[in-house]
Amino acid sequence: MNPLTAIEDVLVAQLGEFGPLLALGFVGLMLVVVAVAMMLNQPEDPLKKLQRSLNESSDRKPQKERLRQASRNEQLQKFANFLEPQNEEELSAMQLKLRQAGYQSKDAVRLFHFAQFALGLMGLAMGLFYVYVMNAEMTYDNQQLALRVLGPGGALYMLPKYWVTRRVEERKAKITSAFPDALDMMLVCVEAGQSLDQAIVRVGQELRASYPEMAEEFEVVAYEMKAGKDKDRVLRDMGSRCGVQDISAFVTVMIQSASFGTSIAEALRVYSAEMRDKRVMRAEEAANKLPTKMTLATMGLTVPPLLIILIGPSVDAITKLGQ
C-alpha cells in the first residue's frame, strides 16, 4: 500500500475531507516559522561585517548619528523594509504615537508591526484549529468559515493598535494630573535661584516616585539639553511627545518668556495658578457628571425589585382567582 495514501486516509478519518489540506497548511506554517527563526539566528557574514566597518570608518556622518544607527537591534534591522512604513510621514506619525504611549525605544515601530504580524498569524492558526480540529464534524458555508477563521486573526492583529491607543490615553491623563504639581515644584526651584534647566532636572528627580510618566518626560528634556540641543526645539518636542494641551501651552509660554526677556518665575507663577484652577474645575466637572452616570445604574438596580415587591402579590392573587 502506498504510504502517502495511508497517511491521507488517516487524515481524512481524523480531520474530515479537508484533513490533507489542513495538514499541508500546518506544515507550511511550521516551515515559515522555522525559516524566520533560522534567519534571525543566522550569524552575520564576515565579509559584510568588514564592509560595514569600512563604511563606518569612511562615513562622514556625525558621531551622534552613527551611534544612533549602531544602537538598533541587528535582528530587526534585517526586516526593516518589512516592519517599517516606507512612507516618511506614516513612519513619523507611528513613532510619535508610540512615544506618546511611553515607548521610547528606537525599535518601537518595528516591534509594533512585528507584534501585529505575529498575533495575526496566531489568530489565523487558532481559527483553523477551531474549525478543522475542534469542530471537524460540522460544515460551514463560506461566510461562517471566513468569520471563524479570519475573525480571530483580524482581532489579534488589531490588538496592539488598541493597546497603544489605550496607553496613550492613560498616559495623557496621568501627565495632565501630574502637571500642576510639577509646575509648583518648578516655580519653587526657579524662585530659589536655579535656572530652568536645573529646575527641570530637579523636578524630574523629585517626581520619580509619585508621577513616573511626568518624571520621564522631564528627564528626556534634561538629557537633550545636556546633549546640546536647542532649548526651544527641546521644549516643542516635549509638547508634541506628551500630546497634552496644557503642556503645549506651557511650552509656548516658556518660549515667549525667553524671547521677550520677561521673568520666567513670574510666568511660572501665573501659569501654575491657572493650572491649579483648571484641576479644580476638572474635579468639579467629574463630580457633576457622577449623578447622571449613577441614574441608569440606580434605576436598573432599584426599580425591578420594587416592581416585584409591589406588583408580585397582586399578580399572584389574580392568578389564583383565575384558577
Expressed in angstroms, the distance from the first to the final Cα of the chain is 75
pLDDT band at 232 (very low <50, low <70, confident <90, very high): confident
| Across 173-198, average pLDDT | 88
Q: What is the pLDDT of residue 141?
A: 74
Task: Of 249, 115, 90, give the one whose Cα is nearest residue 179.
Answer: 249
| Across 99-112, average pLDDT | 84
Q: What is the pLDDT of residue 67?
A: 40
Q: Are 73 and 80 in contact (CB under 8 A)?
A: no
Residue 278, pLDDT > 80, answer: yes
Residue 60, pLDDT > 60, answer: no
Residue 169, pLDDT > 60, answer: yes
Residue in the block written with cell 434605576: 299
pLDDT band at 79 (very low <50, low <70, confident <90, very high): low
CA distance 144 to 125: 16
pLDDT band at 68 (very low <50, low <70, confident <90, very high): very low
Q: What is the pLDDT of residue 264?
A: 85
Q: What is the pLDDT of residue 80?
A: 57
Structure-model confidence comparison of residues 189 and 88, the more confident one: 189
Q: What is the pLDDT of residue 69?
A: 44
Provide CB contacts within 8 A for 215, sequence distance 6+.
203, 204, 205, 206, 207, 208
| Across 107-132, average pLDDT | 84
Lowest mean pLDDT among 29-33, 42-46, 200-204, 285-289: 42-46
- For the chain, how are helix, strand and coil distributed in percent, rounded to 5? 85, 0, 15
pLDDT band at 162 (very low <50, low <70, confident <90, very high): very high
Query: What is the per-residue DSSP string for 134-170?
Result: ITTT----HHHHHHHHHHHHHHHHHHHHHHHHHHHHH
Lowest mean pLDDT among 74-83, 117-126, 244-253: 74-83
For residue 191, what are the CA distances in angstroms to 120, 123, 195, 219? Answer: 55, 57, 9, 21
Percent of the chain past pLDDT 90, that is, above it, reads 4
Residue 97, pLDDT > 80, answer: yes
Q: Are 212 and 300 in contact (CB under 8 A)?
A: no
Instruction: Look over the chain and give the mean of its residue pLDDT values, rounded to a whole number.
Output: 79
- What ranges in 73-107 are assigned the alpha helix state H? 74-77, 80-83, 88-100
CA distance 159 to 323: 58
Residue 223, pLDDT > 50, answer: yes
